[in-house]
Amino acid sequence: MTQDTLGFIHHFEPGPDAARPLLLLHGTGGNELDLLPLGRIVAPGAALLSPRGAVSENGMPRFFRRLAEGVFDEADLRRRTADLAGFVAAARNRYGIGAPLALGFSNGANIAASLLMLRPEALAGAVLIRPMVPFAEAPAADLAGKPVLILSGAMDPIVPVENASRLADQLAAAGAAVEHRILPTGHGLSQADINLAVDWTRGRALPSAA
């Protein structure tokens, strides 16, 4: 069901495993329905919470503003991150779900990384597909062993591997349990990404916060 409440247009799909839901965060130009098929593959039976980005860039939904490709409006990113954390808290209360594992692609992966850094209590962990460093200076954070999978493309024209590696280092320095895999692909989602996300998620005993 798609609703325009809790501050975001969003889709919620209940599942028998409400304790370990997925928070699906689409890329630029996507919407709340884009990652539902991926979520069902990665975590069968999980409740799925999928908001639509509230920022419009030439008619394309995004989760925060950017000044140019790869140049983020960090003040807006901080504000939108707080808004998203508030949405997650409200959705947990409304739908009776645990702290979610974020599954984000591109712009969605970037705001998921920002959530980890600024509001780590909002997430149980994250699968970040084609993310980049969200802040010029990494905020201090205590990620206390939160599991994070980063999937980068060796031929990605948008996100250099060095940038994604720097994000992995920042999250690990904050205490996250980071696995960074570099795939022989570009920026788009590949079958290898799906397979790795499935294997990693099934191999993790993710915490289910009350």
* Comparison of pLDDT for 48 and 206, the residue scoring more: 48
CA 89 to centroid of chain Cα atoms: 15
Residue 14: what residue type? P
71-75, 105-109, 115-119: which has the minimum mean pLDDT?
A: 71-75
Cα separation, 21 vs 92, whole angstroms? 10
pLDDT at 206 over 50: no
Do strands 101-105 and 125-129 pair parallel, antiparallel, or not at all (unpaired)? parallel
| Secondary structure element (H or E) that encloses residue 199, with its range | helix 191-202
For residues 124, 93, 107 and 37, what is the CA-based torsion angle, rounded to 10 degrees? 90
Please give the structure tokens belonging to residue 172: 């690990």
Summarised one tens digit per residue, pLDDT across range 133-151 is 999 999 999 999 999 999 9
Q: What are phi and psi of 168, to 5 degrees?
A: -60, -40
Note the pLDDT of residue 1.
Answer: 58
161-173 helix and 107-118 helix, angle to the nearest 10 degrees: 20
pLDDT at 208 over 60: no
Summarised one tens digit per residue, pLDDT across range 22-52 is 999 999 999 999 999 999 999 999 999 999 9
Note the pLDDT of residue 67.
Answer: 85
Do strands 147-153 and 177-183 pair parallel, antiparallel, or not at all (unpaired)? parallel
Summarised one tens digit per residue, pLDDT across range 164-184 is 999 999 999 999 999 999 999
**Which residue numbers are catalytic?**
106, 156, 187
pLDDT at 5 over 90: no
Average pLDDT over every residue of 86-107: 96
Give the CATH fold of the 2-202 domain.
Answer: Rossmann fold (3.40.50)
- Pick from 102, 101, 109: which is nearest to 158 by CA? 109
How much is the mean pLDDT over the chain?
Answer: 93
